Structure 1
Amino acid sequence: MTSTAERTAPSRRAQLKFVLVLGGLTAFGPLSIDMYLPALPRMATDLHAADSTIQLTLSAFIAGLALGQLVIGPLSDALGRRRPLLVGLALYVVGSVLCAVSPDAWLLVAARLVQSLGAAAGIVIARATVRDLFEGTAMTKFFSTLMLVSGLAPILAPLLGGQLLNWTSWRGVFVVLTAFGALLLAVVVFFLPEPSAARSPLRLGRVMRTYGRLVLDRSFAGYALASGLLFAAMFAYISASSFALQGVYGLSPQAYSVVFGVNGVGIVLAGQLNGRLVGRVRERALLLSGLLLGVTGGALVLLSAWARWPLALLLVPLFLLVSSIGLVMPNASSLALAAHARSAGAASALLGVLQFVVGAVATPLVGLGGSGTAVPMAATMAGFAVLALVAYLTLARPVVSGKQG
């Protein structure tokens, strides 16, 4: 691979192209998860299935997303980014079509698994491609720019899904996802060249050693855990905020949607602020600032829920905690990948898998205290924010420029 000094940064026009293409790939996860959520009750009725069976379509997708990243990451290190990505996008399109025509719930679960394996290719390869194309602060700036897309996707996806249901069935949602996948497939074929990057031989033993080396790399583990644990606080918010804000504080569904959207905008704004500060302020300082912001917001959310303060005194620190994602994720991703150019696919996979695995652990914790209190949600969010800060302070070390894994 070319050295940092030798590498020529993409032109501004090329960077805009990469933002649109790679942003679309990173949007796969939230779009595929959130767009069909408003349709779950209708799906259960139409397919004559129990709610728990329909909910397995979500579990299968998340499991496939994690498993797919672990497999596709090393594949892209060995074969290049384009071929695994094209196969993944084609698989996503096929899985989306199968979802749209599934005659029963169990076939829909299987189709969602196929769809998720394809989506995993987009997510993991997009992150690895950023590592191929950029170094240092340029990489962090680009990750910050991608927050504009990845932050807006979970805001817009449920709204888009709800609007689609006004004039089509739940099958129409999967038709739209099919079209989205097909469009991205065409864009990648014609507009995304193979990044220039060193490749690693594809051997199972080597892959396992690579994953083992990454797990034991103290700095990588520190940055990955910091982002994964804070992302778990976000999972807790996503899974419990509708019940807490509507059931405990009495917000209407429309008002809750506004709150959810405002918090999502906070992620986007924090990400863009991060992009402006990178180069003037060190990435580690920005990452630490984001983690401290998350801990402060989490502590105040917990205090507000525990003391039963008015809703406004909960919403402000909640906004701070959610917005901290926009500062933490770009810097943690950039610092974690910086020293692993040769294994960027595997490193990207571990980053993504860790987020979903820790998030899956966080989700059931928010329901431990029953439905009449927001304290479990607040305690889970605050606890994972503190753990993220501890992981960073105890494990993460400055990255040695130019080192390659």
Structure 2
Amino acid sequence: MQVKKTLPKPGAFLILLLGTLSAFGPLSLDMYLPALPQIQANLHTSSAAVQASISACLIGMAVGQLFIGPWSDRVGRRKPLLAGLVVFTLTSIALIFVHSITFFLVLRVLQGLAGSAGQVLSRAVARDLFEGERLTKFYATLMTVNGIFPVIAPILGAGLVTIFPWESIFVTLALIGALLVAASYFGLPETATISQGPAEKLDFKSVLGNGRFMLNATLLAFVYGALFTYIADSSFIFQKDFGLSTAGFSVIYAINGLGIALGSQLAGRISGHLSEQNIARLGFFMPLVSCIVLAINALTINSLIVFTVALWVVVMFVGFNSTITTAIAMESTSKNIGTASAVLGTLSQLVGGIASPLVGLFGSNTAMPMIIMIAVFETLGLVLLQFSGSKTPVTH
């Protein structure tokens, strides 16, 4: 027997709450990016080791989703979400008192594990509520709210580390976590269809065997690879190569965050007018062109203005591609929605977790490693679309 809860209307509070829950990436990563050089110096470690803390959090998020998503298909969305938020808050508090890179990395993994609840379940709740073009538009709205956090987070982080030690970043994250616990407990009703009989076997096989789902999940993973290549290296390029201050980098990073929000809205607006394949090709082709501009600039005049504008285009299409690929992937499944959301998020963050330290190994004194890696991910997306075009439905 299954009981379907009365679904809430997607009002402003629900949109804001789900958007904030889906923003655990920016909350956990973007806020402390301006502090990376300070953390490196304070913990007496290398830039590659500090960049690895990004991967540690991402890997935690990736693994955590594989447990939380299927768990939510069995017991509903609320219990796993509240458990994750509580652990995220406690881990953020623990990070305040750590001054060893080893323990710092371990706690970042745990923070990622707990924070994955917000990411995987915000997608699942949205899929519980919507389908079709409405789902795409709702994901676009969520990603627009999500895009606000890359604007706010680095500015807030820069302001905090300018006045206070880097530990203040995690004090703030703990406070945000506590507020989300309260908001979710009192403001988020159950949206899942919950089994009241014996627990059904979790079916990863049906999710992994869904060609349309896996195509878009893989495309989203390439988008995340490009995104976290940018996240891991941009602070070092802008501050060391171009000589910007922490505040200057934060302003540029915030403008790029607005680009993600703009790209998400653009995807939502054209979703009913173009085919999936054409939208996806546009989403990977345009940033690849921008990578060519970035490479030419790096090898010739190395202009900050050219670099900033071309990179903004790359980041803007992250929002564009994320909205389209997430909506199509989640719409392609009507059962095991939490499990599908888990696979989607895990694959994306594993690729992002690999990309972050990889770009760091090539050095942070030039932009070329970042440019080349982003171009590789965009090219892989175009190649996959080319080979899958004749086999994948293109109607939305």
* Fold shared per TM-score above 0.5: yes
Q: Which AA in structure 2 matches 1:32?
A: S
Q: CA deviation at 1:23?
A: 0.9
The partner residue of 1:192 within 185, 188, 194 is 188
Indicate conservation of the 8 Å contact 2:51/2:232, yes or no. Answer: no
Once residues 331 and 358 of structure 1 are traced to their aligned partners in structure 2, the CA distance between those partners, rounded to angstroms, is 19
- Map 1:38-187 onto structure 2 (within 5 A): 38-40=34-36, 50-51=45-46, 57-102=53-98, 106-187=102-183
Change (3 A) 1:253 1:22: same
Deviation digits for residues 42-61 of structure 1, max 9, x if unmatched? 55676x66457766654432
More displaced 10-residue stretch of structure 1: 301-310 or 60-69: 301-310
The partner residue of 1:18 within 4, 14, 20 is 14
Once residues 29 and 371 of structure 2 are traced to their aligned partners in structure 1, the CA distance between those partners, rounded to angstroms, is 23
Does 2:337 correspond to 1:341? no
More displaced 10-residue stretch of structure 1: 278-287 or 120-129: 278-287
Once residues 120 and 347 of structure 2 are traced to their aligned partners in structure 1, the CA distance between those partners, rounded to angstroms, is 12
- Percent identical among aligned pairs is 38
Q: CA deviation at 1:348?
A: 1.1
Any stretches of 5+ residues in structure 1 without a counterpart? none
The partner residue of 1:361 within 350, 354, 359 is 354
Task: Give the alignment's TM-score, normalised by structure 1.
Answer: 0.84
Does 2:376 correspond to 1:383? yes
Structure 1 counterpart of 2:259: 266
Indicate conservation of the 8 Å contact 1:219/1:395, yes or no. Answer: no
Once residues 189 and 29 of structure 2 are traced to their aligned partners in structure 1, the CA distance between those partners, rounded to angstroms, is 28
Find the residue that maps to 1:193 and give its secondary structure: coil
Task: Give the alignment's TM-score, normalised by structure 2.
Answer: 0.86
- Map 1:300-319 onto structure 2 (within 5 A): 300-308=293-301, 310-319=303-312
Indicate conservation of the 8 Å contact 1:197/1:342, yes or no. Answer: no
Change (3 A) 1:306 1:104: closer
Once residues 39 and 355 of structure 2 are traced to their aligned partners in structure 1, the CA distance between those partners, rounded to angstroms, is 26
The partner residue of 1:329 within 315, 322, 334 is 322
Change (3 A) 1:332 1:165: same
Change (3 A) 1:277 1:318: same
Does 2:243 correspond to 1:244? no
Once residues 194 and 335 of structure 2 are traced to their aligned partners in structure 1, the CA distance between those partners, rounded to angstroms, is 6
Indicate conservation of the 8 Å contact 1:247/1:372, yes or no. Answer: yes
Q: CA deviation at 1:271?
A: 1.4
Q: CA deviation at 1:62?
A: 2.3
The partner residue of 1:392 within 378, 381, 385 is 385
Does 2:211 correspond to 1:218? yes
Change (3 A) 1:62 1:309: closer
Deviation digits for residues 11-49 of structure 1, max 9, x if unmatched? 4xx332221111111122221223234445655676x66
Find the residue that maps to 2:178 and give its secondary structure: helix
Deviation digits for residues 223-267 of structure 1, max 9, x if unmatched? 111121022112222222333344445555544333322222111
Indicate conservation of the 8 Å contact 2:52/2:357, yes or no. Answer: no
Find the residue that maps to 1:194 and give its secondary structure: coil
Once residues 162 and 324 of structure 1 are traced to their aligned partners in structure 2, the CA distance between those partners, rounded to angstroms, is 25
Once residues 307 and 98 of structure 2 are traced to their aligned partners in structure 1, the CA distance between those partners, rounded to angstroms, is 43
Change (3 A) 1:44 1:316: closer
Change (3 A) 1:346 1:256: same
Q: Which AA in structure 2 matches 1:301?
A: L
Once residues 176 and 244 of structure 1 are traced to their aligned partners in structure 2, the CA distance between those partners, rounded to angstroms, is 26
Once residues 139 and 258 of structure 1 are traced to their aligned partners in structure 2, the CA distance between those partners, rounded to angstroms, is 32
Any stretches of 5+ residues in structure 2 without a counterpart? none
Find the residue that maps to 1:279 and give its secondary structure: coil
Indicate conservation of the 8 Å contact 1:35/1:157, yes or no. Answer: yes
Q: Which AA in structure 1 matches 2:62?
A: A
Structure 1 counterpart of 2:249: 256
Q: CA deviation at 1:366?
A: 3.3
Structure 1 counterpart of 2:26: 30
Indicate conservation of the 8 Å contact 2:150/2:253, yes or no. Answer: no
Once residues 177 and 338 of structure 2 are traced to their aligned partners in structure 1, the CA distance between those partners, rounded to angstroms, is 21
Q: Which AA in structure 1 matches 2:132?
A: G
Find the residue that maps to 1:188 and give its secondary structure: helix
Indicate conservation of the 8 Å contact 2:221/2:351, yes or no. Answer: yes
Q: Which has the higher contact order (CA 8 A, sep 6+)?
A: 2
Change (3 A) 1:249 1:341: same
Find the residue that maps to 2:324 and give its secondary structure: helix
Change (3 A) 1:308 1:377: farther
Once residues 39 and 236 of structure 2 are traced to their aligned partners in structure 1, the CA distance between those partners, rounded to angstroms, is 21
Q: Which AA in structure 2 matches 1:143?
A: Y
Q: CA deviation at 1:354?
A: 1.6
Deviation digits for residues 317-373 of structure 1, max 9, x if unmatched? 322221111211111001111121211111111211222221233334435665554
Once residues 250 and 44 of structure 1 are traced to their aligned partners in structure 2, the CA distance between those partners, rounded to angstroms, is 18
Q: Which AA in structure 2 matches 1:296?
A: V
More displaced 10-residue stretch of structure 1: 248-257 or 122-131: 248-257
